[in-house]
Each structure stands twice: as C-alpha cells, then as structure tokens.
Amino acid sequence: MGLRIALLLALTLSACSHPSEREREAQREREERDRNSAAFKAGEAAHELAKHAEKAAEAAERKLQDGAHKAAEGWKQKEKEDREKAREGH
C-alpha cells in the first residue's frame, strides 16, 4: 500500500511540474500579446533611442577630445614662439 501511495505521489508531482500542452500554448499566446502591446513597443523604441544617443555621445566625445588636443597643440606652439621671441629680444 505504501509503495502505491509513493508511486501515485511521484506521478502526481511529475505531472504538476511539467506544464501541459494547453498551458504552454497559453504561455506562448501571453508572450505574443505582450510583444504586441504598446508598452512592449515603447520599450523597444526607447532601447533604439538609447543606442542612437550613445552613438551620438561617443561622436561628440571624440570631437571634444580632438578639439582639446588641437587647443593643447596650439598652446604649445604659441608658447614655443614666445620663448623664441624672448631669446631673440635679449
């Protein structure tokens, strides 16, 4: 009798732990509805906007770094010219 109960319990638990075909289909339908929802679409759009914003920020950073590098080079060049003029003047 105890073996039968154990076997019945094992089968019951096994059946409960695996979703039925109907449950799997219902889950797929819920996921499909979610993908078609306005909130889901808004999330996708927000993700795309964030990617574009990140690329724009990276491009702006490169331009700023390039500008800073050119400014530093200009500063060094002017400093060198000033030193040369100072030597020539003395």
Asked if the structure places residue 29 within a domain, the reply is yes
Measure the CA–CA gap between 64 and 71, rounded to whole angstroms. 10
Please give the distance of CA 89 from its chain centroid, rounded to a whole number: 60
Neighbour count for residue 40 (Cβ, 10 Å): 13
Token pair 């695996």 in the structure block, residue = 18
**Domain span including residue 45:** 20-89
pLDDT digits (tens, 9 = 90+) for 59-74: 999 999 999 999 999 9
Asked if the structure places residue 7 within a domain, the reply is no
Whether residue 34 contacts residue 40, with contact meaning beta carbons closer than 8 Å, is answered with yes
Domain count for the chain, please give it.
1
Asked if the structure places residue 37 within a domain, the reply is yes
Measure the CA–CA gap between 87 and 69, rounded to whole angstroms. 27
Considering the entire predicted model, what is its pTM?
0.52
Asked if the structure places residue 57 within a domain, the reply is yes
Asked if the structure places residue 9 within a domain, the reply is no
Out of 24-28, 34-38, 47-51, give the one with best mean pLDDT.
47-51
Please tell me the predicted confidence (pLDDT) of residue 4.
75
Asked if the structure places residue 11 within a domain, the reply is no
